[in-house]
A and B are shown apart, each in its own frame.
Chain A
Amino acid sequence: MPNTSNAPTQNYVPGEHPDLKPPIGQTGILLWLRKNLFSSTFNIVLTLATLYFLYLVIPPLLNWLVLDAVFQAGSRDECRALGEGACWGFIDKRLGQFTYGFYPIEERWRVNLTFLLLVMAVLPVLWEKMPKRRIMLWFSVLFPFVSAWLLLGGFGLESVNTDQFGGFMLTMIIGVTGIVFSLPMGILLALGRQSQLHFIRWICTGFIEFIRGVPLITLLFVASTMLNYFLPPGTTFDLLLRVLIMVTIFSAAYIAEVVRGGLQAVPKGQHEAADAMGLKYWASMRLIVLPQALKISIPGIVNTFIGLFKDSTLVVIIGLLDPLGIGRASLSDSKWQGLATEVYVFIAIFFFICCFSMSRYSIYLENKLHTGHRI
């Protein structure tokens, strides 16, 4: 009988037995495959079906996206003459428009710089182990003012009107502003809703319920048209600013409810312990209750942010040109007609990257803050 096992044929002195390799098929990729893909008949069928599906989908997709695609062209007809696949030449020609909207070409460096500064401002907030974090945090606080100056101009820079904002830049502005301002506002609203003071509680509850009871698109309409009826004729109150305010209060109302969930999950004992230590309301909130509540609320908060980011595309209805609006207007150019798929795929990739990174960051944060303490 041949020796099929890799068990030693040799005897060892007790205690001297060497570490043996696990049998083949019990480690590495083979084990993983067997355990995850081929563990039962049903799983085998599923795996094969999936493989077949991928085989059907991926090659044509790859052909269309990359291999047969045309990356440089002056019009759709040129594209079609050059290749069967996607006409990225269109996106290439209009990349500036998709990114900056109608921002003056000579001034676009300001948008780029703002974006760079945004990364620098966000890093210390998100990344705890960042070197020189304290100093950098001060920069983060200043960033909103710096960026407003850079984007709008004035004080030495040529001023640019907000109606020239558009494309991804607009999405980022709405998304980032909404996120940055709605979080503190939402937390305050959540605390207010739990307040012992009736007046504050009523106001906060009323506000939250009112805003949650209306669709965002209605608020945007109010921002774009109704406000004009109330403001005195001749006053101009920037449309983008109105939209930013509406988007912020909208998402603040949702954040407030998410945070309230977190607050209610913090056991009463924690409040009482804080009281027993003689902490005043704000101190006990800041040191004891909120850190726990917010930790629990992270998935919900990030969820709201992702929703907010995607809802920013609604502004196209009131005439602000986000990437979809730019796409629509560009697609009507007779030179480039019929390339809707390219535009939507391109925009989808952008949104996917943004939203996916947000959700990955939330997972990272949850793991980091997971101190093992279960309530």
Chain B
Amino acid sequence: MNLVKNAVAAAAASLLLGGTVQAGTLADVQSAGHVKCGISTGVPGFAFTDDKGDWQGFDPAVCKAVAAAIFGDTSAVKYTTTTGKTRFTALASGEVDMLARNTTWTFSRDTDLKLDFVGVNYYDGQGFLIPAELGVSSAKDLDGASVCIQTGTTTELNLADFFRTNGISYEAVPIETNSEGQANYEAGRCDVYTTDASGLAATRSALEDPSAHALMPEIISKEPLGPLVRHGDSEWADIIRWTLNAMITAEELGVTSANVDKMATGTDNPEINRLLGSEGDLGAMIGLDKAWAWRAIKMVGNYGEVFEQFIGKDTPIGLDRGINAQWTDGGLLYSPPFR
């Protein structure tokens, strides 16, 4: 009874104070012993469970890197699956501490929804997946087509824009999750499936006969996907941002999970030394120890390793690095310096 009374009193108090900033996420996370991470309900290569029941994929890798940086334990993550519609509420309400879930960085999400995108881990764009037998070569020929589309996504809005500017019509088949979209598309309930091109490649790989389906050449939008946190705790945002940057920088500097131990003892590149903690103490500036980035790279890998492991050319997803290559290779990945 007392508990209820306390809860009610506290609820009233928090209502009165209204929207108090939730500072100290790092402290909360450390005392809970795990990071609460929101991920998708399942996209091949991006988020899935393995035979042992562990979450794997390009997105959980970010959660794991953060857990490795804070705890030195990639299993110190509590995953919550979210759909396109529930993800922001889950983050804003504190149900999760961070989202790593194919989420596009947009103006209104960053400002109006009071979220903070900490970086980009995949530069994507919206594409169309169609059965090859349809014989359509351009998205502009899709007049009157029925399109499977996830609700609560940028995809939904882009599609409306695209069809309107091109003066063609379509019939939307709204779906909740990627697996639902795949099932509907496979069953022929929609002629076309549209979402981020990476997600389409992933979905295509999961079809009974991938070669019978093709991605259209058009990419109709910019979809910078990245991890995000809620407004109000910049220190926490810093940790996620720089963990991601550490993975990107590690690739740029040639630090991999295999050679990180050797490099951590000291190299003649001062930036590597600062990154891995053998020189200076960058970790202290974000409330962690010197070896935080070393642990993330050691336990999860650098950006390129993660990419190749889950979605790269040798996986069934088979994505090229493309614009997601390092800036030194002509791509867009460009991490601010560790200094």
- Footprint of B on A, CB under 8 Å? 93-94, 96-97, 101-102, 161, 163, 221, 224-226, 228-237, 239, 316-319, 321, 325-326, 328-335, 337-338, 340
How far does the Cβ of B288 sit from chain A's closest Cβ, in whole Å?
21
Closest to A343 in B: B179
Q: Are B205 and A225 in contact (CB under 8 A)?
A: no
Chain A residues within 8 Å of B13, by CB: 232
Chain A residues within 8 Å of B317, by CB: 334
Complex interface residues of chain B between 71 and 91 (CB less than 8 A to chain A):
78-83, 86, 89-90
Q: Are B315 and A230 in contact (CB under 8 A)?
A: no
Query: B11 in the interface, Cβ–Cβ < 8 Å?
Result: yes
Q: Are A319 and B316 in contact (CB under 8 A)?
A: no
Q: Are A334 and B10 in contact (CB under 8 A)?
A: no
Q: Are A332 and B207 in contact (CB under 8 A)?
A: no
Whether A319 touches B80, Cβ cut-off 8 Å, given contacts A331-B206, A334-B315, is yes
Q: Are B81 and A331 in contact (CB under 8 A)?
A: no
Query: B51 in the interface, Cβ–Cβ < 8 Å?
Result: yes
- Complex CA distance for A325 and B41, rounded to whole angstroms: 7
- Complex CA distance for A329 and B22, rounded to whole angstroms: 31
- Complex CA distance for A330 and B10, rounded to whole angstroms: 40
Whether A329 touches B95, Cβ cut-off 8 Å, given contacts A230-B15, A233-B20, A317-B86, is no
Chain A residues within 8 Å of B316, by CB: 334, 337
Complex interface residues of chain B between 188 and 222 (CB less than 8 A to chain A):
202, 205-208
Chain A residues within 8 Å of B127, by CB: none
Q: Are B11 and A231 in contact (CB under 8 A)?
A: yes
Q: Are B11 and A232 in contact (CB under 8 A)?
A: yes
Chain B residues within 8 Å of A224, by CB: 86, 90, 93, 95
Chain A residues within 8 Å of B247, by CB: none
Chain B residues within 8 Å of A96, by CB: 53
Q: Are A337 and B90 in contact (CB under 8 A)?
A: no
Query: B254 in the interface, Cβ–Cβ < 8 Å?
Result: no
Whether A328 touches B177, Cβ cut-off 8 Å, given contacts A230-B15, A334-B45, A338-B206, is yes
Chain A residues within 8 Å of B7, by CB: 231-232, 235, 237
Closest to B56 in A: A333
- Complex CA distance for A97 and B42, rounded to whole angstroms: 15
- Complex CA distance for A334 and B312, rounded to whole angstroms: 12
Chain B residue total in the interface (Cβ 8 A): 53
Q: Are A337 and B49 in contact (CB under 8 A)?
A: no
Q: Which one of B42, B78, B176, B182 lies within 8 Å of A329 (CB-CB)?
A: B42
- Complex CA distance for A161 and B76, rounded to whole angstroms: 12
Chain A residues within 8 Å of B47, by CB: 329, 332
Query: B50 in the interface, Cβ–Cβ < 8 Å?
Result: yes
- Complex CA distance for A333 and B183, rounded to whole angstroms: 16
Q: Are B93 and A225 in contact (CB under 8 A)?
A: yes
Whether A230 touches B49, Cβ cut-off 8 Å, given contacts A163-B78, A224-B90, A334-B316, is no
- Complex CA distance for A316 and B50, rounded to whole angstroms: 19
Q: Which one of A225, A237, A329, A335 lies within 8 Å of B89 (CB-CB)?
A: A225
- Complex CA distance for A333 and B50, rounded to whole angstroms: 6
Chain A residues within 8 Å of B20, by CB: 233
Chain A residues within 8 Å of B207, by CB: 338
- Complex CA distance for A340 and B32, rounded to whole angstroms: 36
Q: Are B94 and A332 in contact (CB under 8 A)?
A: no
Q: Which one of A93, A239, A331 lies within 8 Å of B51 (CB-CB)?
A: A93
Q: Are B86 and A319 in contact (CB under 8 A)?
A: yes
How far does the Cβ of A258 sit from chain B's closest Cβ, in whole Å?
29
Q: Are A332 and B44 in contact (CB under 8 A)?
A: yes
> 28 A–B contact pairs at CB < 8 A?
A93-B51, A97-B53, A163-B80, A221-B86, A224-B86, A225-B89, A225-B90, A225-B93, A228-B94, A231-B14, A232-B10, A232-B13, A234-B28, A319-B81, A329-B41, A329-B42, A330-B49, A332-B42, A332-B57, A332-B178, A332-B179, A334-B44, A334-B48, A335-B51, A337-B44, A337-B206, A338-B206, A338-B207
Closest to B45 in A: A334
Chain B residues within 8 Å of A231, by CB: 7, 10-11, 14
Chain B residues within 8 Å of A102, by CB: 53
How far does the Cβ of A306 sit from chain B's closest Cβ, in whole Å?
24
Chain B residues within 8 Å of A236, by CB: 32
Closest to A101 in B: B53
Closest to B311 in A: A334
Q: Are A332 and B43 in contact (CB under 8 A)?
A: yes
- Complex CA distance for A163 and B33, rounded to whole angstroms: 14
Complex interface residues of chain B between 294 and 336 (CB less than 8 A to chain A):
315-317
- Complex CA distance for A54 and B173, rounded to whole angstroms: 34
- Complex CA distance for A338 and B186, rounded to whole angstroms: 10
Complex interface residues of chain B between 1 and 54 (CB less than 8 A to chain A):
7, 10-11, 13-15, 20, 22, 28, 32, 38, 41-51, 53
How far does the Cβ of B102 sit from chain A's closest Cβ, in whole Å?
12
How far does the Cβ of B179 sit from chain A's closest Cβ, in whole Å?
5
Whether A337 touches B205, Cβ cut-off 8 Å, given contacts A233-B14, A319-B90, is yes
How far does the Cβ of B250 sit from chain A's closest Cβ, in whole Å?
25
Chain B residues within 8 Å of A232, by CB: 7, 10-11, 13-14
How far does the Cβ of A324 sit from chain B's closest Cβ, in whole Å?
9
- Complex CA distance for A126 and B53, rounded to whole angstroms: 36
Chain A residues within 8 Å of B43, by CB: 332
Q: Are B49 and A97 in contact (CB under 8 A)?
A: yes
Q: Are B177 and A228 in contact (CB under 8 A)?
A: no
Chain B residues within 8 Å of A225, by CB: 86, 89-90, 92-93, 95
Closest to A326 in B: B49
Whether A340 touches B44, Cβ cut-off 8 Å, given contacts A97-B53, A229-B93, A231-B10, is no
